[in-house]
Amino acid sequence: MQKFVYGLHFSIFLFVLFFLNGNIELFRKTIPPFGKFLDPAKGVWHHNVPIGYVEDNLTLPISKQASVIYDERWVPHIMAENLEDILFLQGYTEAENRLFQMELMSRAAAGELSSIFGEVTIELDLDKRRRGIKFAAENAVNAWKQMPEFDLAQKYIDGVNAYISQLKPEDYSLEFKLFNIQPEPWTELKSALIFKEMSLFLCGKNEDIEYTNAKNTFTQDIFNQWYPEHEDIENPVVPDHSLVIPDTLFGKQQDNSSFYDGIIKKTFFETRNPGIGSNQWTVGKSKTKSGSNIFCNDPHLSLGLPSIWFEQHLKTPQFNAYGVSFPGFPGIMIGFNDFIAWGETNVGQDVEDLFLIEWADDKKNTYYLDGKKLKAEIRIEKIAIKGADPLYDTIRYTKWGPIFKSSKDGKNDLSIRWLSHDKPKGAEFMTFVNGMMCKNYDEYLTATEKFQTPAQNFGFSSASGDIAIRINGMLPAKYDQDGRFVEYGNNSKNDWSAFIPRQQNPHVVNPPENYVSSANQRSASKNYPYYFTGNFENYRNKTIIEKLKTGSDFTAQDMQKMQMSSFSPKAKEFVSVIPTDCRQMGSASGINWYDKLKEWSFEYLKDKTEPVFFEIYMKHLRMNTFDEIYSKLDEVAIPIPKDWVLYKNILNDPLNEIFNIKKTSTIENADNIQKLAFFKSIREIDSLMTAWKNLNWGNYNPLHIYHPTRIPALSANNLAADGCPDAINAKGNSFGPSWRMIVHQKNPVEAYGVYPGGQSGNPFSPYYKNMVNDWVEGKYHVLHQNITMEELSKKQVKKVVASPNKVKS
């Protein structure tokens, strides 16, 4: 009877998957033969997951017997006698659970999605090829192979391939069968591609075009007022009292004549999810109830099924580490051991600059640099397309990097200078392997000093009481305005002339406040001598610092509540300056919404309507204020000024000419604009309230956690969740806290964590998305890092015993 019910449910699933959701229309040229897909022995039916305890024995090329025990949440506890074996088993285990995800990420980074999905992904592939992601990965591999430490990374790769090599076609996961492809052998290039994809996501975007256009559209006074880089009061990651001003500076002063002085028509407009970033803070022992440090980290990234994180426990006689990894790369990226806890937030410093190329011939084979003609390097990219002939793209590389965007007349061709294209100077691939074995801060500094890019705020806490954050990675030594705008590419003096020595990067250790925190705000104040430009956060950090500053006797449960905070300081600021006249607009409705906003707690709770009204109000406020920008966006990319700048000017310069709506005959000011925005908001939300049975933040702004194929049956869509980009709980439509972790460094360590997904990449597994609801509701799981074998045996659902074979690798 149980098998009949399962078969019935699965048949309904297939019907929904392929027919009710209309996916055949999207992938009609790439759908596999149904006979193979539905083959009773080798098809998709093979993925039924056994219920109950499973034990397995493997013979693998390891040196000593090891084991992998899966607990009640399918977290593998990998136990081996040495580092080489545990990295091998980490690779094997991640491949066993996430192989399609790893394959897809590496192909996406290489610009090879069209080989799976056909013509629908050609533009995505072209983008990756023109950005030079594979070029960057090839440079990394060529450097890595020269380093003796690479032998350890190779163990991880060998583990992935050991799993792949024993697979039979019937064992391939659902997605391999769905798109009729086979897993490829894992290589060091694939691991490098995943690393570069992470770099692209965190430090591979710039706003050079947008700010160039803004600078050359507005007067200097208007530009300076509406596009400032520093707030009047800032809370940088590293406070001024911990800032060490070096005696000797590197780099060169910026020559402003190097900036392009024209308008670049719309070729591309790079956008970022406003909440993508991270939170990290540590509360020192003097501010906790237990007298032990509490370390917290929650990176905000695009959410997906399966999750980008894989939770695991790695234990040898030398170390006992627990946390999450990035499948495809060895080590634990965010985690803890018996002695320390570590995590990261993105620095956000701009390490990608654009240079305008001056061609020396019509065919774009040569270009000018320092008065000489140089030959462009030609790279022919072949894009395989499933169901169609391959596409060939000619990409030119200059001294700066690849030509990312070309114009028809060649006058606006832009070349990218991106730090991640450079060959790494150290064994950066060992950062999260070496880091997970450390016992104190000095060891951790040494273990992570080879990390290059993307630069991260490395948070640290030790059981002995040390707390610290340092900006870790390579950063160009820039001076005022360098890299903020498109520069002329015909002069090599416009290039970066030096990098900031690592010891001059901002860092803070054991500050008098007894806490440290980073939330993607500026790493240092304007007193830091090197120029920092990029995309920085302006609200979350204020909430975090206020809570840490005023609180005391903190517990791990307090930190859980803090990570779930949906309070928006931005909402509090803007509501405080809404004119009182707005209460009289729209008669009863105006009074109702005005009073609601004034009584609102400024928390973005899923069952509240106030966040809906406020978001609608902010939309109209921006559109009415910046009408002169919105009217140009179809042709010219210009950035919309930041919300904190808008608030500042409402307060301090309400008569500024930007508040005037250009298409009206009257001259508007900030007060007029706010009233108009409020009036439009009343009309819009009244209409929504009529159309929706139960309008609230949860259904107005639902969260979608997509499978890479966007197939609804494999995703978790339309989730009602608290949070907004400006809150600590930084939730958006498809991004949010991708892993919440709290480590209370008592003896023994007490740790909690959760992410929105599941450990298994198999959609038919009960562990595919079993943690989504817990994550939405703010529930945490105990992380079993110091669990005894007796306790673990009671929780285990699968045990794998791995024995060495006769031929050791």
Report which residue type is found at 350: D
The CATH code of the domain at 569-700 is 1.10.1400
User: Could you report the per-residue pLDDT of 436-476, keeping only the tens digit for each?
Assistant: 999 999 999 999 999 999 999 999 999 999 999 999 999 99
Mean pLDDT across the stretch 5-21?
A: 40
Task: State the sign of the Cα–Cα–Cα–Cα dihedral 405, 531, 301, 156.
Answer: positive
Please choose, from the candidates 468, 560, 563, 543, the residue with its C-alpha nearest in 3D space to the C-alpha of residue 513: 468
Mean local confidence (pLDDT), 722-740 = 96
Of 128, 207, 242, the residue nearest 527 (C-alpha): 242
Residue 786's Cβ-count burial label (10 Å; 0-12, 13-18, 19+) is: middle
Mean pLDDT of the chain: 91
491 and 258 Cβ atoms separated by less than 8 Å: yes
Taking only the tens place, the pLDDT of each residue in 59-110 is: 999 999 999 999 999 999 999 999 999 999 999 999 999 999 999 999 999 9
For tokens 């975090």, the residue is 544
pLDDT at 302: 93
Q: What is the mean pLDDT of the segment spanning 264-273?
A: 62
State the pLDDT confidence band at 141, using cuts at 50, 70 and 90.
very high
The DSSP secondary structure of 652-705, one letter per residue, reads: H-TT-GGGS-TTSSS---HHHHHHHHHHHHHHHHHHHHHH-SS--HHHHS-EEE
What is the three-class DSSP state of 313? strand
pLDDT at res. 389: 97
> Residue 546 corresponds to which tokens in the numbers above?
């206020």
**CB atoms closer than 10 angstroms to residue 631:** 12
Contact 346, 478 (CB under 8 A): no
User: What is the tens place of the pLDDT at every residue in 398-426?
Assistant: 999 999 988 888 888 999 999 999 999 99
What per-residue confidence (pLDDT) applies to 160? 99
So what's the pLDDT on residue 117?
93
| Tokens representing residue 100 in the block | 């399609």
Give the whole-angstrom CA distance, residue 357 versus residue 360. Answer: 9
Average pLDDT of span 155-175: 96
pLDDT at 1: 45
pLDDT at 204: 80
**What are the extents of the domains in the chain?**
569-700
731-758: b or e for each residue (b if 16 or more CB lie within 10 Å)?
bbebbbbbbbbbbbbbeebbbbbbbbbb
Does position 244 have pLDDT exceeding 50, yes or no?
Answer: yes
Checking if the pLDDT of 36 tops 60, the result is: no
Report the pLDDT value the prediction gives residue 588, as an integer from 0 to 100.
85
DSSP tag of 409: T
Angstrom distances, CA of residue 668 to CA of 73, 579, 585: 59, 14, 18
Mean pLDDT of 766-781: 98
Do residues 278 and 346 lie in contact, with contact meaning Cβ atoms separated by under 8 Å? yes
Token pair 């901002």 is found at: 506
pLDDT at 271 (0 to 100) = 54
Per-residue pLDDT reduced to its tens digit, 327-356? 999 999 999 999 999 999 999 889 999 999
Residue 245 pLDDT > 90: no
* Collapsed DSSP state (helix, strand, coil) of residue 237: coil
- pLDDT tens-digit readout, 676-730: 999 999 999 999 999 998 999 999 999 999 999 899 999 999 999 999 999 999 9
Please check the confidence at residue 52 and state whether its pLDDT lies above 70: no
pLDDT for 463? 98
Q: Which pLDDT score, from 0 to 100, does residue 49 have?
A: 58
Q: What is the share, in percent, of the chain residues with pLDDT greater than 70?
A: 91
